[in-house]
Amino acid sequence: MPDRDASSVSDREIAHFDQLAATWWDPKGSMRPLHEMNPMRTEWVDRHLQRLQSLRGGRIELLDVGCGAGLASEAFARMGHDVLGLDASGEGIRAAEAHLAAHPLPEGSGHLAYLHGNAESLAREGRSFDAISALEVIEHVNDPQAFLALLHSLTKPGGLVAISTLNRTLRSLAVAKIGAEYIARLLPVGTHDWQKFIRPDELHRMARNAGLRMIDVAGMSYRPMHWRITRDTSINYIAMFVRD
């Protein structure tokens, strides 16, 4: 069982993303790579969510853990899912709420709400969800194994958990860390710690130990201004798990 009194989030990481909150929704700003990646990753997740929705016979409730200022949360809600966006960054949640107030969701969207806090607090309340997304999050937590166990505890039986992250390879060090942060300046310096990147086999093993079964994995490859799903998991990848 996860330690529900220990925070999965790092104070240093929270402070870093607090500083980025004001420009999070600027598609040409510091979060430009996320803006470019977001349609591809949310559409990939949605294909799995649609199948789950068919099985459950109605709209599903999704918890978006580490939602930042709500890029993925808004996209999932526009796809018709009921979404709770959760983040430990207070500035991020304020930016998410401000953007939603200024840009209301269109008719036919799911319900969208935001919560400033951590997943441990929801676990203590006994909350559970049909599906959970944790996109570009696990490489920022204190203990990935405990984090996966926490996500398991928040997922209903038969529910889905989507995780996207970065592989720990020499190629990802060169491209996603040194290239993106120090050369191309696509991301603020200090956004990532390469040592905390997770190989797909490591994620698979930790998830299995937490009671989550991997059912799909795909690479996310970047070409200038365009992301696509590929078989190449050497840098970015996304995986789907089911709680049996």
Q: Is 179 annotated as a binding residue?
A: no
Q: Is 71 annotated as a binding residue?
A: no
Q: What 3-state class would DSSP assign to 185?
A: coil
Compute CA distances 133 → 40, 49, 145, 172, whole Å. Answer: 14, 11, 16, 23
Q: Count other C-beta atoms under 10 Å from residue 170's C-beta.
A: 9
d(CA 68, CA 221): 22
Q: Is 100 annotated as a binding residue?
A: no
Measure the CA dihedral 72/75/79/81, to 10°.
Answer: 50
Kindly list the strands in the beta sheet with 61-65, ordered across the sheet, starting from the edge strand earlier in the chain.
112-116, 82-87, 61-65, 129-135, 155-166, 236-243, 212-223, 226-230
Q: Is 87 annotated as a binding residue?
A: yes
Instruction: For residue 200, give every residue at least 6 positions away whose Cβ sits within 8 Å of its Cβ, in sequence order, or none.
Output: 167, 217, 233, 237, 239
Binding site, annotated residues? 41, 66, 87, 135
Binding site, annotated residues for S-adenosyl-L-methionine? 41, 66, 87, 135
